Each structure stands twice: as C-alpha cells, then as structure tokens.
Chain A
Amino acid sequence: ETGVTQSPTHLIKTRGQQVTLRCSSQSGHNTVSWYQQALGQGPQFIFQYYREEENGRGNFPPRFSGLQFPNYSSELNVNALELDDSALYLCASNRDAETQYFGPGTRLLVL
C-alpha cells in the first residue's frame, strides 16, 4: 500500500467540459505530483505542489490547474477538455525527499 488514494477511478466526459480529479495522501506527505499517462507511453509530469504552493510545472497548458489542501489532499482541474486529454492521471506523493509513490490513478475518457 502506498497510502495514496485517488477518485474517481474512471470518468467519461465530452469535449469542452471541465473535470476535477482528487488525490489524498498520508499525513506528513508534503509534496504531491500529478502525471498524465497516455496509452502506451510513460507518465508525463504535469505539476507538483509543496505545502500548498505550486513547486514546478511540466509542459502542459494553463487549462491544467491544481490545488493542494492542508489535509494532504490535492485536486487536478482540467478545463475545456480535448480528445487528447484521454489518459490515466496519476497522483504521487513523497514519503521522503527522493521517492515518489503513486496512487491507483483515474482513467479519463474524453468523447
């Protein structure tokens, strides 16, 4: 068990809609990162939050945004969904300075 949970497990949306994905990690895991994994590819870094502040961002447009809350939960919001946003979205938290452990992921399908 990684101590990281995500909801929902699956989601279907239509193009142009907005979606919010949620992640919860254990107490003390101050850093949370979000990744997008398209089918057949490795995960791509979206952004990271440390103590509720964005702490790094990958090559994703501003319609991808996030929040981290004091209770170690986090959200990924995606506006104006596009077909290419269909992917597995992974949340990872740090137990220590180096290692990231992933939650089970949310599979998003955009029609």
Chain B
Amino acid sequence: QKEVEQNSGPLSVPEGAIASLNCTYSDRGSQSFFWYRQYSGKSPELIMFIYSNGDKEDGRFTAQLNKASQYVSLLIRDSQPSDSATYLCAVKRNAGNMLTFGGGTRLMVKP
C-alpha cells in the first residue's frame, strides 16, 4: 500500500462545474496536508494546506480533512480550463519537514 494514494485520472469536468479531488494516506502520524498544482512541464505550486479536521476555504478552493478516515480532498468550484493540471496531495509528519506525495490526479476542465 502506498503511503499517499490518489486516483491518477484523468478527471474530466465541464467548465463551471465543481471538481472533487481525493487523497487517502496511511500514516496516522501525519499532521499537515498540502495540495499542490502542477502544470505540464512545470514545478509544483502550493495551492493550500490544512491541519485541522473540517473544511478550509481559499477563494474557489476548499480543502477538507478527515483524520479519522485518513482522507483529504480538494474541491474546486467554478472550474476553469486554466485549472487543467495535475493535482498533488502531500502529507507531513509533525517531526521533520519531509513531504510524502501521492502520484497526482490529472484534471481536465472542458470548455
């Protein structure tokens, strides 16, 4: 079992719809959870992070965390074609700074 698992996709949504990206993790010692966006040929860019159970909203993005279920999700409202990218979920234990990444989910937003 991989430490961080994501459906590789592609996830295809129409423009204006809500895209839902999911991630599960195996290490119960994980304390911090991150979502990065990576365009083809580029490096990952941080979208948002979450530490506490529940929802955290930032603009069109909402991160959701459920530590009991070891589940993190990212919702993108009003999806735009420019949101088409690979979304990487990453987790971090409290000690140290190592990020453990999932394989990423490729999102395609169709006009």
What residues of chain A have their CB less than 8 Å away from a CB belonging to chain B?
2, 31, 33, 35, 40-45, 48, 50, 55-56, 58, 88, 90, 92, 94, 98-105
Q: A105 contacts which chain B residues (CB < 8 A)?
A: 42-43
Q: When the two chains form their complex, are residues B97 and A100 in contact, meaning their CB atoms are under 8 A apart?
A: yes
A contact patch SS = strand
Majority DSSP secondary structure for residues of B touching A: strand
Contacts of A55 in B (CB 8 A): 96-97
Q: How many residues of B contact A (CB 8 A)?
A: 22
Residues of A within 8 A of B92 (CB): 98
| B17 contacts A by Cβ under 8 Å | no
Q: A98-B49, A103-B43, A104-B43 are in contact. Are A58 and B98 (CB under 8 A)?
A: yes
Across the interface, name the chain B residue whose C-beta is closest to A105.
Answer: B43
The smallest beta-carbon distance between B51 and chain A, in angstroms, is 8
* Given A102-B44, A103-B43, A104-B43, A43 contacting B99 (CB threshold 8 A): yes
A102 touches B97 (CB 8 A): no
When C-beta atoms are compared, the residue in chain A nearest to B95 turns out to be A56
A56 to B46, Cβ gap below 8 A?
Answer: no
Q: Is the CB of A48 within 8 A of B101?
A: no
CB of A45 within 8 A of CB of B43, answer no
Q: A48-B98, A98-B32, A98-B49 are in contact. Are A90 and B43 (CB under 8 A)?
A: yes
Give chain A nearest CB distance to B75 CB in angstroms. 20
Q: Is the CB of A100 within 8 A of B45?
A: no
Instruction: Kindly provide the distance from the CB of B88 to the nearest chain A CB, expressed in whole angstroms.
Output: 5
Q: Which residues of A contact B49 (CB under 8 A)?
A: 98-99
- Cβ contact within 8 Å between A56 and B101: no
Min CB gap B29→A, angstroms: 15
Q: A56-B96, A100-B99 are in contact. Are A42 and B43 (CB under 8 A)?
A: no
Cβ contact within 8 Å between A42 and B96: no
Interface string of B50-85 (1 = CB under 8 A from A): 000000000000000000000000000000000000
* Interchain residue pairs A-B with the least CB separation, the first 7: A42-B101, A102-B43, A105-B43, A45-B98, A42-B103, A43-B101, A56-B96
